């Protein structure tokens, strides 16, 4: 695929699935604007991508920061919003703030970014939101996290209606072997990968490049809108 003269904004583009998507977009001739909180992480991403990449810091928890990030951007062809920071607590946890964390840290951040980007999106442009396969098959103790992902998928369907002809879709990965899990303790990572291997149809975690390929399909395919694509190796079917 070629993305010449197109701009993709990736909020959460300094690492992981966002960076893998940016890399594939740049390899196809496109330009990217990467956002995240850590300037150092963004700078390393820009060095790896070259002159086709711009960077700017953003914290999706902070409406002023979101506004400042989007203000200088004139035209956006595509927007991808994998940035998220959240904790997972069981539904009977006594602290309501802990229960709200997946909504605060994953749902509302994406809502803020889409609201700020919408006036600048090209009429033939598109948005891809990040949810997760837990919406379809919740792990034990993660009912609020599952609910937040389900809310993101419903938001994506609503956006497809409200933004048309601009398209909106959602990507819902299973467990992916990449930057997110590399930062977690070994025993937790091993348990997650073993769970994905045993609990999926393909018998392994996914790769960031596999999710990037699926995100690019959703961003580019002109007849796909309002859908959630489960890139989970069949995790939600077991």
Ligand X SMILES: NC(=O)c1ccc[n+]([C@@H]2O[C@H](COP(=O)([O-])OP(=O)(O)OC[C@H]3O[C@@H](n4cnc5c(N)ncnc54)[C@H](OP(=O)(O)O)[C@@H]3O)[C@@H](O)[C@H]2O)c1
Which pair of tokens denotes residue 62?
């902070």
Residue 102 is a binding residue for ligand X (CB under 6 A): no
The distance of closest approach from Cβ of residue 41 to ligand X in the complex, given in angstroms and rounded to an integer, is 5
Residues 49-88 as x/- pattern, contact with ligand X by CB under 6 A: ---------xxxx--------------------xxxx---
CB nearer ligand X, residue 15 or residue 228 = 15
Interface mask toward ligand X for 159-188; x: CB under 6 A: --------------x-xx-xxx--------
In contact, 73 and 2? CB cutoff 8 Å: no
Binding characters for ligand X, 122-141, by CB under 6 A (x = yes): --------x-x---------
Sole window of 15-23, 48-56, 114-122, 162-170 interacting with ligand X (rule: CB under 6 A): 15-23
Q: Which stretch binds ligand X (CB under 6 A): 33-41, 140-148, 160-168, 220-228?
A: 33-41
Residue 38 binds to ligand X (criterion: CB under 6 A): yes
Stretch that binds ligand X, among 11-19, 119-127, 140-148, 212-220 (CB under 6 A): 11-19
Q: At what angle do helices 16-27 and 208-220 cross, to 10 degrees?
A: 60
Q: Does 108 bind ligand X (CB under 6 A)?
A: no
CA distances from 155 to 6, 14, 110, 111 (A): 25, 25, 10, 8
**224 contacts ligand X (rule: CB under 6 A):** no
CB 110 within 8 A of CB 102: no
- Tell me: does residue 193 bind ligand X (CB under 6 A): no
Q: Which residue is nearest to ligand X (CB)?
A: 16
| 3-class DSSP string for 154-185 | HHHHHHHHHHCCCEEEEEEECCEECHHHHCCC
Residue 160: both structure tokens together: 């497809």
Q: How far apart are CA 232 and CA 195, in angstroms?
A: 12
Q: What six digits make up the tokens of 55?
A: 């960077």
The nearest distance, CB 192 to ligand X, in angstroms, is: 7
**Per-residue burial over 35-45, b = 16 or more CB atoms within 10 Å of its CB, e = otherwise:** bbbeeebbeeb
**Residue 150 interacting with ligand X (CB under 6 A):** no
Phi-psi map region of 166: left, alpha, beta (phi>0 left; psi -120 to 50 alpha): beta
Alpha helices in 28-166 (DSSP H): 39-49, 63-70, 96-102, 108-117, 143-163
Interacting residues with ligand X (CB under 6 A): 12, 14-18, 36-38, 41, 58-61, 82-85, 106, 109, 130, 132, 173, 175-176, 178-180
């Amino acid at each position: 695929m070629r993305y010449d003269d197109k701009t993709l904004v990736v909020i959460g583009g300094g690492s992981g699935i966002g960076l893998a998507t940016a890399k594939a977009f740049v390899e196809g001739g496109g330009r990217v604007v990467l956002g995240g909180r850590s300037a150092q992480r963004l700078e390393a991403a820009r060095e790896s991508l070259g002159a086709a990449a711009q960077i700017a810091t953003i914290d999706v928890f902070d409406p002023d920061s979101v506004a400042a990030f989007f203000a200088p951007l004139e035209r956006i062809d595509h927007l991808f919003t994998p940035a998220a920071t959240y904790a997972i607590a069981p539904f009977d946890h006594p602290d309501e703030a802990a229960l709200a964390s997946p909504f605060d840290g994953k749902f509302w951040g994406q809502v803020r970014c889409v609201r700020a980007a919408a006036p600048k999106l090209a009429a033939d442009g598109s948005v891809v939101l990040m949810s997760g396969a837990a919406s379809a098959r919740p792990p034990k103790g993660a009912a609020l996290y599952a609910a937040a992902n389900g809310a993101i998928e419903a938001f994506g369907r609503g956006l497809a209606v409200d933004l048309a002809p601009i398209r909106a879709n959602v990507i819902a990965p299973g467990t992916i072997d990449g930057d997110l899990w590399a930062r977690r303790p070994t025993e937790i990572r091993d348990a997650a990968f073993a769970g994905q291997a045993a609990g999926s149809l393909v018998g392994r975690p996914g790769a960031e490049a596999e999710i990037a390929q699926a995100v690019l399909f959703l961003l580019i395919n002109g007849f796909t809108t309002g859908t959630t694509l489960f890139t989970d190796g069949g995790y939600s079917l077991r």
